[in-house]
Amino acid sequence: MSIKPDIRIQAEDFDIKAEIEKLTQGRTDIGAVVTFSGLCRGEGDTLSALELEHYPGMAEAEITRIAEQAMKRFGLLGMTAIHRYGKIKPSENIVLVIATSPHRQASFDGANFLMDFLKTRAPFWKKNHLVDGDDGGWVDAKDADDNALGKWEK
């Protein structure tokens, strides 16, 4: 039984179906799979791309720390998280989270927990590139993301 989360930071896109199969193949103990994927928005067709910068090494380490907490706290059977870096165009994938568990609530909570902490603790930064060629500047961190952590306080 795999207990270690599978965390990958990569430039390439990911295949959601293949990633689900990796976690579930041959397993008869999994009753629930929750996937979350985050996509690049076009912001009303003003954005040509997001550029994602990351801190190599720490990005993997930090998401692994969060995923290990999630697996323990919610009793997950498996967890995968893939975060892309580089230039990503509107409608393309940015991030994938998959959680598996015997029953659905743990997987919903685990995926939600991982995303909430990833947003504020995983060392990634987004820069806007605009359709009109302008430098759209760096994306500001949102208070709402910080506030989202409150619901996980025990």
Partner 1 sequence: MTIKLVYFAWLRERFGMGEEQVDLPESVKSISDLFDWFETRGEEFEAVMEHRKIIQVAIDQEHVQDSGTLIGDAKEIAIFPPMTGG
Residues within the interface to partner 1 (CB under 8 A): 38, 52-55, 57-58, 61-62, 83, 94-95, 115, 118-127, 138-141
Closer to partner 1 by Cβ: residue 106 or 118: 118
Closer to partner 1 by Cβ: residue 3 or 58: 58
- Which token pair is 10? 């990569």
* In the complex, minimum distance from the CB of residue 75 to partner 1, in angstroms, rounded to a whole number: 24
Going by C-alpha positions, the residue among 50, 28, 72 that lies closest to residue 136 is: 50
* In the complex, minimum distance from the CB of residue 105 to partner 1, in angstroms, rounded to a whole number: 22
- Which token pair is 14? 């990911």
* In the complex, minimum distance from the CB of residue 102 to partner 1, in angstroms, rounded to a whole number: 27
Closer to partner 1 by Cβ: residue 62 or 77: 62
- Which token pair is 131? 């359709």
DSSP track, 23-46: HHTT-SS--EEEEEEEE---TTTT
Closer to partner 1 by Cβ: residue 24 or 64: 64
* In the complex, minimum distance from the CB of residue 11 to partner 1, in angstroms, rounded to a whole number: 14
Tokens 């290990």 belong to 68
Q: What is each CA distance from 134 to 46, 127, 131, 137, in whole angstroms?
A: 10, 12, 7, 9
- Which token pair is 43? 């912001």
* In the complex, minimum distance from the CB of residue 150 to partner 1, in angstroms, rounded to a whole number: 16
- Which token pair is 145? 């993301």
Closer to partner 1 by Cβ: residue 4 or 138: 138
